[in-house]
Structure 1
Amino acid sequence: MINIHLYPSPFLNESRILREARLLEKLGLFERIDLVGTGRSDLAVTEAVSDRIHIRRIGLRDESLSFLEKTQATMTWSAAVFRSYRGERIGCVNCHSIATLPLGVRFKRTTGARLVYDAHELETETNGLHGLRKRLTKLTERALIGQADHCIFVGDAIDNWYREAYGITNTTVLYNCPPYRELQPSDVFRERFGIPADMPIFLYQGLIGEGRGLRLLVEAFAGLRGRAALVILGYGPLSGWVREQADACDNVFHHPAVPPGELLSYTAAADVGLSVIEPTSLSYEYCMPNKLFEYIMAGKPLIVSPTTEQRSFLRRFRVGEVASELTADALRSAVMTLLSRPPGHYQAELARARQLFNWDRQEKALESVYRQWLGFDAPVRSLAPMEGEAT
């Protein structure tokens, strides 16, 4: 019996899907786990991640296509994927985007497989989705989501939205947290950029693009010269602009992206983490960025923008400061408030959050999905209870 994970990407940095697959491999629920995506001319068609986990890249993805061309390409890809699994004994299909849900439903109806809708964002309210494409996406999700045996969402706000919009109750929240680990202090940014030892380093890590508050952050830190340094780590469409700003401002620095496996060691070199989201869509308003959990795992207090899920999280866990509004002045004020706190002010709450929000704890919720909701039988791999947690 096999498990198929459907996602229209070449599977280069899909850490969430890979973590889920590795847990399922450890649980011994399936003989084989296939991560099925799209191909690229410079990538192998098949790639072994482990003895049981394999990446299968089917067809080629062309980002330059129009909406109608992309729709046709998705249909062609779906048909090719379906043909390639004809005759296979499929136990479960995981759809990681709305684009793959019709294919997942087809697999369920023809093979009897369990179907999991594992949406990575609020799929019908994403940035850039509008017009006919948005209407069709909404119609597709409303028509098919009831076919899912279980739904997995990335945060409470998105989970609540789906429950209210479709009247579903078979849902689980699975945060995209890094595994628990102890990190050693690092001075990589101070050594690379010559930042003085007494100047606090505020770090943004992730995609360098619009919607991430980068223009506001640069403006905010331009008014904090001599008080704080801003390091922007990553790559993306605005990388050139960030380098220009770094050349013009002596407390703004750009660091190229680093391999995912090394990221947290760089996070440990900062003093404070920044998670600023511009709510240009409802999905952005409700999102819970990976970087927030990465900062927490590194033991770094946060400055966040006042989006719904981030604001709610910092009310429950006092691990940093929430900007009063999404402006450069408000972000600068939040920085000054954080810097005015006594040393160690956030550490007790950060330690508590690290124990709760790590992938080792999320695995427990994911295991329950497969055993209790989907009915797959396998020996339970129990986790030791956290200190102070009821057993």
Structure 2
Amino acid sequence: MKKEKKVIHILMTDYQIDSRVRNETNSLYKNGYDVDVYCLKSYKIKKSEDRENINLIRFGLVGNKLLNFLSAYIFMFVYSLNKKIDLVHAHDANALPIAYLISCIKRVPFIYDSHELWSESHHSISSKFILKSIAYVEKKFAKKAQYIITVSDSIKEFLQKYFKTEDITVIRNIPSYTHEGTYNILREEFKLSESSKVCLYQGVISQSRGVELILTAAINVCSREQNVYFFFLGEGPYLNELKKSIKDLGLSNRIITLGRVEQSSLLKYTKSADIGIHAITNSCLNHDYCLPNKIFEYIHSGVVPVVTNLYELNRYVIGNDIGLSFEDNNAKSLENQIMGLLENEKQFLRFKSNVGKLAKFDTWDNESKKLVEVYQKVLS
């Protein structure tokens, strides 16, 4: 099938893994668009590649982060001069300047894809001047976008006031990489009985994601209930300390770390769990308004979620009657909610049934239709 409209997505990382970008670009390709992704070179990945019919082109001089960004901007701009482009799609605030410049030179529309509430987030950058400058750039250029998309209703409502525009659509981070059938990898690999209960955390292993709090709750749950096991899937800055704490406590056979699992196989592991924990702390408004892909991964694996009572997470989980929420940064509250699910089989089965029903409706196939509608609107 001939691809008539050429669109470029700009992502200021080296794009090893980004499920949102992957989902969006694959859906656009299936709907007849010719898609390139402009991203950064790095020591890990320097060459361009074709990935699932999407052309990834990497730019920039590898080394200093600022040099990498600025040189990438220049190379992206020069590369685009003689290319056919019908639309530019900027992922997050740091892609806005070059996306806007290319759209001006090529006289084509551009879309701003806000993966988070950037102006109300924690950042690794410590310079207040740089943070204020980026916030200024985001606000200035986002207002010039023909359309804005974001990840949750709360962020949409905030951005509508912040950018003074109504043209914002929510496209949630629902996974496309689901698996049909039944998998029980964790019980099989670790020789657990079918009657055992498996609690799971998957994601970045860091204190800001509540991993230390989950560990505290897990220790107490394990002391109260002998047939429950906790698994941590993922990598991060707190992984080695987590492993050491578990070993020192003598709980390595009950609380288990598995490291990173390939995305293509991840939900096969998730399907082994009974309870999925997401314990991100309410340290900024971006966290309070987040609706992360992990919650949808749990749902599409038939897992009952237990989440921090952040505004958007609590509204989704409690509103759909699919699980429980616990008090932010309170390990005892998390422990009690997990024990409540373990001890109340009727409640657990009700949640699990509702999870299955919701998973049939909240799919990437349904979500991607909104993206296609935005593209049709912008390009009409």
TM-score by length of 1: 0.89
Task: Structure 1 unaligned segments of length 5 or more: list them.
Answer: 377-391
2:179–2:268 Cα contact (<8 Å) kept: no
CA distance in 2, matches of 1:245, 1:183: 36
**Aligned partner (choices 110, 114, 118) of residue 105 of structure 2:** 110
Query: 1:9 — aligned with what?
Result: 13
CA distance in 1, matches of 2:197, 2:370: 37
Query: 2:293 — aligned with what?
Result: 290
Query: 2:93 — aligned with what?
Result: 98
1:35 equivalent to 2:30? Answer no
CA distance in 2, matches of 1:79, 1:178: 33
1:219 equivalent to 2:216? Answer yes
Distance 1:287 1:57, change over 3 A: same
Question: How do 1:373-388 residues align onto structure 2 when only pairs under 5 Å count?
Answer: 374-376=378-380
1:34–1:56 Cα contact (<8 Å) kept: yes
CA distance in 2, matches of 1:105, 1:165: 19
**2:110 counterpart SS class:** strand
* % same residue: 24
**Cα distance, 1:73 vs. partner?**
3.8
**Cα distance, 1:210 vs. partner?**
2.5
Aligned-partner residue type, residue 346 of structure 1: F
Query: 1:229 — aligned with what?
Result: 229
Per-residue displacement from partner, 1:35-83 (whole Å, max 9, x unpaired)? 11111234352211244x2000112454xx5xxxx44542222111100
2:177–2:264 Cα contact (<8 Å) kept: no
**Aligned partner (choices 115, 135, 140) of residue 137 of structure 2:** 140
Per-residue displacement from partner, 1:187-214 (whole Å, max 9, x unpaired)? 3222333444333111001111121111
Distance 1:286 1:61, change over 3 A: farther
TM-score by length of 2: 0.91
Per-residue displacement from partner, 1:82-140 (whole Å, max 9, x unpaired)? 00111212111111021110111111211111100011111222222551222112111
2:92–2:113 Cα contact (<8 Å) kept: yes
Task: Structure 2 unaligned segments of length 5 or more: list them.
Answer: none
CA distance in 2, matches of 1:109, 1:187: 52
Query: 1:22 — aligned with what?
Result: 26
1:246–1:254 Cα contact (<8 Å) kept: no
Aligned-partner residue type, residue 256 of structure 1: G
Distance 1:61 1:285, change over 3 A: farther
**1:127 counterpart SS class:** coil
CA distance in 1, matches of 2:131, 2:255: 38
**1:303 counterpart SS class:** strand
Query: 2:368 — aligned with what?
Result: 363
Query: 2:207 — aligned with what?
Result: 210
1:173 equivalent to 2:177? Answer no
Query: 2:254 — aligned with what?
Result: 251
1:180–1:359 Cα contact (<8 Å) kept: no
**Aligned partner (choices 351, 355, 362) of residue 356 of structure 2:** 351
How many equivalent pairs are there? Answer: 366
1:273 equivalent to 2:268? Answer no
**Cα distance, 1:151 vs. partner?**
0.5
**Cα distance, 1:237 vs. partner?**
1.2
Distance 1:189 1:25, change over 3 A: same
Query: 1:261 — aligned with what?
Result: 264
- Bigger mean CA offset, 300-309 vs 127-136: 127-136
**1:344 counterpart SS class:** helix
CA distance in 2, matches of 1:42, 1:348: 43
Displaced runs of 4+ in structure 1, greater than 6 A? none
CA distance in 2, matches of 1:60, 1:253: 40
